[in-house]
Amino acid sequence: MASLLKILGLCLWLYLASQGSKTVVSQSPTLVNGTVHIDGGSTIGITDEDFICATMDWWPPTKCDYGTCSWGNASLLNLDLSNKILLNAIKAFSPLKIRLGGTLQDKVRYQTRDDPRPCTQFVKNSSEMFGFTEGCLPMSRAKIIFGLNALTGRTIGPDGTCTGAWNSSNSESLIRHTVNSSYTIYGWELGNELSGRGVGASVTADQYASDVIALQKLVQHIYKDFDTKPLVLGPGGFVDADWFTKFINGASGSLQGVTHHIYNLGPGVDDHLIDKILDPSYLDGGAQPFRDLKNILKRSGTSTVAWVGEAGGAYNSGHNLVTNAFVFSFWYLDQLGMSSSYDSKTYCRQSLIGGNYGLLNTTTFVPNPDYYSALLWHRLMGRKVLATNFVGTNKTRAYAHCSKTTVGITLLLINLDNTTAVQVGLSVENAISNKTLTLEQISQQTRMTKHMSKYKHDIKSEMMRDEYHLTAKDGDLHSQTMLLNGEIIAVNSSGAIPPLEPRRVNSTEPLTVAPYSILFVQISYIQVPACK
């Protein structure tokens, strides 16, 4: 493990180099028309280059929810980091940010030379906060901890309210250890879900701001000889507008990233999760924390940026065959599109592996559908976000970015309807000569110029688009097998991630999104000022 982490340069936001009834698609869909309107004049958000992020957690095998123990050996303390599928899945992103932390990070002690006590593991105990005793991170694995325990030194009252300042001594020993071991650190995050009312415990906004300032001073001192210093991030909790306002105003000079969590679907035991995922109005309601945080940051005048530090949709480990199945890509990709449109810089999915919401299967490490959704986003959707609006049916969600590696734009379309396919028209404002250009007009211009033989080859290549149609195997939303353009996506016998090849389509062909499907479409022949 040590050699692996050294090679890949781990950090807090780790850069790694290189049930219910069966829900199926209608067999005889109807067809409706709709139009995507895109303003190509300017951007409404700019994400990090490595916007996609995933989390790794502390939960031991004894972590059980609703009678199911879904974590297995996916903990930071026992995960097999030599698994070839895991390594290939990480390397396919090149790079992938990984946030190391979670609920139990606020009960972790770091084994250092300054603390000779025995290093014990987490033990299930219902009388303890979070249901487990304190656990210890052995020095042999210290390089992979970056979500810091923010409860050390505090007194926790019967109602969970904390008093006293953060004691940074144990965390300081860990930070110094990573520096002495030459581990590359991207950032340190203080605490987990202690903002507002908190989960299990809470810290006031003023005190938390003071603690973040202390962490920033510590980082600046320890890394004083480094040209590039780790980021300081926090609070890793749920957006409470009043609390976040006080916290950001108090800590903005010492805080580079404001991290918040998303579990807007409720508990994993909910039997109506799919109903929520397929409900456009419910999805729209998920915009509130993004909107609130964007407004708070704007009013504060700070340079601090917004990150989604942990998002699993349904808390308490998710729901088997929902949050690890095809249907969850509707929620996940909509979240990626929505959060980026509110200028979030990074979005960390809970989890890379573990629970019932992992991008990878906890036991086999084989990618779940959301892994491929994330990988396509990472490869196709560029940093610049374009204002996008879909008109025609509220069951279709639409987002557009400048393309990541080519000229033009990339469009994400999500069809939540079981019975209706959508034929999509495209209207792009400020495209080419500062005017609105429809897909039909683009096709017409293509036909008018095809007779010019010397341009024929170039036009043929330039007026094609790349389509990536994602559907569930056998049309079953609970399926853990995803199809790309009708073909099963699967790792091979060597554990290699398959190439995700597009379908090349002539611009004169209609743009159609099948029922219960997702479409990424890369359009190089539409160029806009915002993408220059």
Q: To which residue do tokens 């005190």 refer?
A: 207
Q: Which of 49, 310, 429, 462 is catalytic?
A: 310
For residues 388 and 385, what is the distance between their CA atoms, to the nearest angstrom?
A: 9
Beta strand pairing call for 231-237 and 257-262: parallel
**Residue 140 DSSP symbol:** G
Q: Does the CA dihedral 366-404-144-304 come out positive or negative?
A: negative
Write phi, then psi, for 414 (nearest 5 degrees): -125, 120
Beta strand pairing call for 314-315 and 266-267: parallel
For 363-510, strand residue ranges (E) read 381-391, 396-403, 409-415, 420-431, 435-438, 464-472, 482-484, 487-488, 503-506
Burial class (CB in 10 A: 0-12, 13-18, 19+), 82: exposed
Helices marked H in 47-186: 84-91, 169-180
* Residue 404 neighbours by CB under 8 Å, 6+ apart: 379, 380, 381, 382, 383, 410
Comparing CA positions, the residue from 159, 309, 336 lying closest to residue 239 is 309
Decide if 189 is catalytic.
no
For residues 215 and 190, what is the distance between their CA atoms, to the nearest angstrom?
A: 8
Of all residues in the chain, what percent are helix, strand and coil, respectively (each to 5)?
30, 30, 45
Which of left, alpha, beta for 432 (phi over 0: left; psi -120 to 50: alpha)?
left
Q: Which of 193, 462, 501, 509 is catalytic?
A: 193
**Residue 225 DSSP symbol:** T
What six digits make up the tokens of 129? 């906060």
Q: Is the CB of residue 363 less than 8 Å from the CB of residue 324?
A: no
Task: Please write down the HEC assignment for all residues of 393-424.
Answer: CCCEEEEEEEECCCCCEEEEEEECCCCEEEEE
Decide if 193 is catalytic.
yes
Q: Does the CA dihedral 356-269-234-331 come out positive or negative?
A: positive
Residues recognised as catalytic: 193, 310
